[in-house]
């Protein structure tokens, strides 16, 4: 029985979208479990439509095209969910490519752990990065976890994941559209799941590669993302009005900013290639301090949304 839908949100990345889809077409050992692959085109001009149509004949399962013209990562994920009734949902980002046994490994981990959401490792790739930055950036865009499949305490992001719809993705629009450009929509989702007693799992063999394009393989971009990641715990606590937790995260952030910032200054003076790691930790600490609304960096479709809003007015 087909019980899994794979959702791939995309925004103006035709080459990487094709790479992602071809990697899905090559999945092995999943039998007839896949009901459809849903591609959500988040470009107002529907730029992915022709590419998806050209690949349709190669797809081993139904390839569903959805146009979600208002740019935003949460909006795109919600639109993908609305296009399928599958009880299990796998997410793959359009800049990722899955290993042939990816989905099979996620399904096996879900069966063995009984988790509501299962995550897998990511190998970061930044081929166009500056040499001294490349090791840091490939770790930044990657994801490491336990060496063995099993239950875990802390969730990861939606890219490379499998979720039980009934428990992990409740309601018609489980992702908060307020996080459309800044991201963090999965932080709030998983915090709510954890509060309901949900469980998280890790699939050690469910490997994907994530390819950072040249405009993202920069220190400036990575530190902006690190700052946003740092904001996550404080913002999640603030959303639930847990002000003691907000204060605790701000104190932690202040300590991180001071300690790691001092270390970063020393490594900068000696031109150590390891300084990028301390820049990252400092940025995350600062993010915990400056978590307030209006201070979030905007990453996902911000330019496209600005053009759309200008056209509407």
Shared domain for 65 and 117, answered yes or no, is yes
Shared domain for 116 and 205, answered yes or no, is yes
156 φψ region: left (φ > 0), alpha (ψ -120 to 50), beta (else): beta
Shared domain for 82 and 230, answered yes or no, is no
Q: Report the run of H or E that residue 140 belongs to, with start and end.
A: helix 134-140
Is 231 a residue whose pLDDT tops 90? Answer: yes
Cβ(2)–Cβ(34) under 8 Å?
yes
Phi first, then psi: give them for residue 265, nearest 5 degrees: -65, -40
Shared domain for 204 and 238, answered yes or no, is no
- Residue 169, classed as helix, strand or coil, is coil
- Residue with tokens 């479709």, as numbered in its chain: 301
pLDDT tens readout for residues 59-77: 999 999 999 999 999 999 9
Number of domains in the chain: 2
Cβ(105)–Cβ(90) under 8 Å?
no
Token pair of 94, please?
């359009």
* Alpha-carbon torsion (11, 17, 18, 21), positive or negative: negative
Task: Using a cut of 0.85, tell me whether the model's pTM lies above it.
Answer: yes
Q: Confidence class of residue 312 from pLDDT cuts 50, 70 and 90?
A: low
Shared domain for 305 and 284, answered yes or no, is yes
Q: Could you tell me which residue, 137 or 232, shows the higher pLDDT?
A: 137
pLDDT of residue 265: 97
Shared domain for 38 and 70, answered yes or no, is yes
Identify the CATH number of the domain in which residue 163 sits. Answer: 3.90.550.10
Pairing of strands 208-211, 96-98: antiparallel
Is 262 a residue whose pLDDT tops 80? Answer: yes
**Which residues form the domain of 9?**
4-211
Shared domain for 260 and 118, answered yes or no, is no
Shared domain for 254 and 203, answered yes or no, is no
Is 308 a residue whose pLDDT tops 70? Answer: no
Is 169 a residue whose pLDDT tops 70? Answer: yes
pLDDT of residue 241: 93
Shared domain for 299 and 159, answered yes or no, is no
Token pair of 286, please?
């600062």
Domain boundary among 186, 211, 236: 211
Q: How crowded is the C-beta side of 103, counted as CA atoms within 13 Å?
A: 26
pLDDT tens readout for residues 19-37: 999 999 999 999 999 999 9
* Alpha-carbon torsion (234, 235, 236, 240), positive or negative: positive
**Lowest-confidence pick of 20-24, 47-51, 288-292, 305-309:** 305-309
Is 253 a residue whose pLDDT tops 90? Answer: yes
Q: Confidence class of residue 178 from pLDDT cuts 50, 70 and 90?
A: confident
Shared domain for 70 and 112, answered yes or no, is yes
Domain boundary among 168, 183, 211: 211
Token pair of 219, please?
């220190």
- Residue with tokens 């399904």, as numbered in its chain: 107
Is 306 a residue whose pLDDT tops 70? Answer: no
pLDDT of residue 164: 98
Is 305 a residue whose pLDDT tops 60? Answer: no
Shared domain for 274 and 290, answered yes or no, is yes
Shared domain for 224 and 207, answered yes or no, is no
pLDDT of residue 13: 94
Q: Confidence class of residue 302 from pLDDT cuts 50, 70 and 90?
A: low
- What integer best gives the mean pLDDT of the chain? 94
Cβ-proximal residues to 226 (8 Å cutoff; 6+ apart), any chain: 140, 279, 280, 281, 283, 284, 287
Domain boundary among 195, 211, 227: 211
Cβ-in-10-Å burial (0-12, 13-18, 19+) of 57 comes to: exposed
């Amino acid at each position: 029985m087909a019980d899994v839908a794979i959702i791939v949100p995309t925004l103006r990345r035709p080459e990487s979208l094709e790479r992602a889809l071809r990697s899905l077409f090559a999945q092995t050992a999943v039998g007839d479990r896949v009901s459809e692959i849903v591609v959500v085109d988040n470009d107002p001009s529907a730029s992915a439509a022709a590419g998806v149509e050209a690949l349709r004949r190669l797809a081993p399962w139904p390839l569903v095209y959805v146009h979600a013209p208002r740019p935003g990562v949460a909006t795109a994920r919600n639109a993908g969910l609305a296009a399928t009734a599958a009880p299990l949902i796998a997410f793959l980002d359009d800049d990722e490519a899955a290993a042939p046994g990816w989905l099979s490994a996620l399904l096996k981990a879900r069966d063995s752990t009984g988790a509501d959401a299962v995550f897998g490792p990511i190998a970061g790739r930044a081929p166009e990065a500056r040499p001294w930055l490349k090791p840091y950036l490939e770790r930044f865009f990657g994801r490491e976890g336990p060496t063995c499949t099993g239950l875990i305490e802390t969730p990861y992001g939606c890219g490379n994941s499998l979720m039980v719809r009934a428990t992990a993705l409740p309601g018609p629009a489980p992702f908060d559209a307020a996080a459309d450009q800044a991201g963090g929509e999965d932080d709030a989702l998983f915090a709510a799941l954890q509060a309901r007693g949900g469980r998280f799992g890790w699939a050690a063999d469910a490997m994907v590669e994530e390819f950072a394009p040249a405009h993202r393989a920069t220190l400036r971009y990575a530190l902006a993302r690190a700052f946003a990641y740092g904001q996550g715990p404080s913002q999640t606590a603030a959303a639930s009005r847990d002000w003691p937790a907000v204060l605790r995260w701000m104190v932690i952030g202040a300590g991180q900013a001071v300690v790691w910032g001092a270390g970063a200054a020393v490594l900068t003076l000696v031109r150590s290639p390891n300084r990028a790691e301390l820049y990252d930790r400092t940025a995350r600490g600062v993010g915990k301090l400056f978590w307030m609304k209006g201070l979030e960096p905007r990453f996902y479709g911000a330019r496209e949304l600005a053009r759309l809003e200008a056209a509407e007015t």
